[in-house]
Chains A and B, each alone.
Chain A
Amino acid sequence: MAKSLISIRDFTKEEILHVLETAKEFEQNREQKFLEGKVIASLFFEPSTRTRLSFETAINRLGAKVIGFSDATNTSQSKGETLKDTIKMVDNYVDMIVMRHPLEGSSRYASEVATVPVVNAGDGANQHPSQTLLDLYSILQTQGTLEGLTINMVGDLKYGRTTHSLLQAMSHFNPKFIFTAPEELKMPKEYKGFLDRRGIEYIETTSLDEHLNNCDILYMTRVQQERFTDPMEYERVKDVYTLNASMLGNVKDNMKILHPLPRVTEIDQDVDETKYAYYFKQAENGLYVRMAIISYLLGYRPLK
């Protein structure tokens, strides 16, 4: 079984830092075609344009060719073929598989069936490790370090998988957390337990204003309407978590705002022009991080 990236916990601290270091190399020089002659499968069993374009651009920039599909309706899966058979077939053709699938655990399973490395580009609400690595890279690039930072996570902390994975990955680097969420969408107990066991401090609040001025990273997420049983409750909450430029008067000078995108109402457009906005650059960073993940797993940028 080749080394795959399914969950952020599959990478040690050393591997995480190595991938981030490699991403810097690609940010400085994105024209490196050392994967010429390789073929990589991009299997999107559910559509995700943003993630797919980022991965496929990374593959192309490294000189490899892409095969695959962008949704499963026209594949044999719709005829009832098992996931195992689809993966086995593709595995014969390619050097690596990038996959996104609506079922949780599907990428782990695929990595056990395949002989080539598998990169999980999202398995339902479970894991999306390349997003986590690009978040880490964005934090590193804006703060100059990952050590000892205060991260304020805002919005849907209950269902938002990006916040859960980021929390786990950051636990290597002595962070402090602020969890800003409405009662209904608070950080689940299992993740708070994870922090307790590691002696990592966190504060919970329902107010966005309360801790805005003492964090290094403001990690905003979308509050999804469909999570609420009471529509009135949603209406009340959604505006509470709208960040606008007038709220940023007293924030730390080095503070940067991250968001996995797409955003809806949670960050006002007037924030885009401030020096704190980093979410578009964050999306661009995804390209370099994905180039680094692919190069590492294929053995072109091995750990020293």
Chain B
Amino acid sequence: MTHKELVVSALENGTVLDHIPAQYVYKALDLLGLKDIESQITIGINLASKIYGKKGIIKIADKFFEDEELNKLALIAPKATVNIIRDFKVVEKKMLETPEEVVGIARCKNPKCVTNHQPIKTKFATIQNGDEISLKCHYCEKISSIKHAL
């Protein structure tokens, strides 16, 4: 029997999200809504990385994101890089920008916040403090850390 090598194939067209902290890969899939799409997705976790020690990588075939969508990733992976691939070549590299506002995806950690009791879409302003990002609730005005809110 011939020995078949499993190779993570290069993308023909699509998006590569690199330098995601290893522990946030699943969260990243969640934030970008990649759990319910048809495209072929290749995921690498705990790959060697100079920045983090261990990193994650997500390759999505035939998928191109709006900047606004991608910037959600900055909340958990501010140093992530985005490569746009067309015809096996990197045609564009993007850095992420932290969004000023986070709507709908986070949860307020304050148990007495109205958003935890009524059917209300959450809304936060992002507060950047060095590398740390925290979220200030538009409603109860309390500050939640990213870890608690996502």
Q: Do A and B truly interact?
A: yes
A-side interface residues toward B, CB under 8 Å? 7, 82-84, 101-106, 108-109, 123-127, 190
Binds A, one of B4-12, B36-44, B89-97, B111-119: B111-119
Chain B residues in 8 Å Cβ range of A104: 110, 112-114, 139-142
Most buried by A among B108, B119, B138, B141: B141
* A105 x B140 contact (CB < 8 A): yes
Residue of B nearest to A102 (CB): B112
On whether A84 and B140 interact (CB within 8 A), knowing A104-B112, A105-B113, A125-B112, the answer reads no
A-B residue pairs in contact (CB < 8 Å), sample of 11: A82-B119, A101-B114, A104-B112, A104-B113, A104-B141, A105-B108, A105-B141, A108-B139, A109-B120, A123-B140, A126-B141
Interface residues contributed by chain B, number (CB under 8 Å)? 17
Most buried by B among A82, A102, A103: A103
* B143 x A106 contact (CB < 8 A): no
Chain A residues in 8 Å Cβ range of B73: none
Q: Mark B78-117, 1 if CB is under 8 A from A, else 0.
A: 0000000000000000000000000000001010111101
Is B60 in the interface zone, CB < 8 Å from A?
Answer: no
Pick from B113, B119, B138, B142: contact of A103, CB under 8 Å: B113
Residue of A nearest to B115 (CB): A105
* A105 x B143 contact (CB < 8 A): no
The distance in angstroms between the C-alpha atoms of A138 and B140, with both chains bound, is 27
Chain A residues in 8 Å Cβ range of B143: 190
Nearest 3 CB-CB pairs, A to B?
A105-B139, A104-B140, A105-B140
Is B135 in the interface zone, CB < 8 Å from A?
Answer: no
The distance in angstroms between the C-alpha atoms of A7 and B136, with both chains bound, is 14
Taking the closest CB of chain A, its distance from the CB of B128, in whole angstroms, is 14
Is B137 in the interface zone, CB < 8 Å from A?
Answer: yes
* B118 x A124 contact (CB < 8 A): no
* A7 x B112 contact (CB < 8 A): no
The distance in angstroms between the C-alpha atoms of A113 and B77, with both chains bound, is 35
Chain B residues in 8 Å Cβ range of A82: 118-119
* A109 x B139 contact (CB < 8 A): yes
Residue of B nearest to A108 (CB): B139
* B112 x A124 contact (CB < 8 A): yes
Residue of A nearest to B142 (CB): A104
The distance in angstroms between the C-alpha atoms of A126 and B115, with both chains bound, is 14
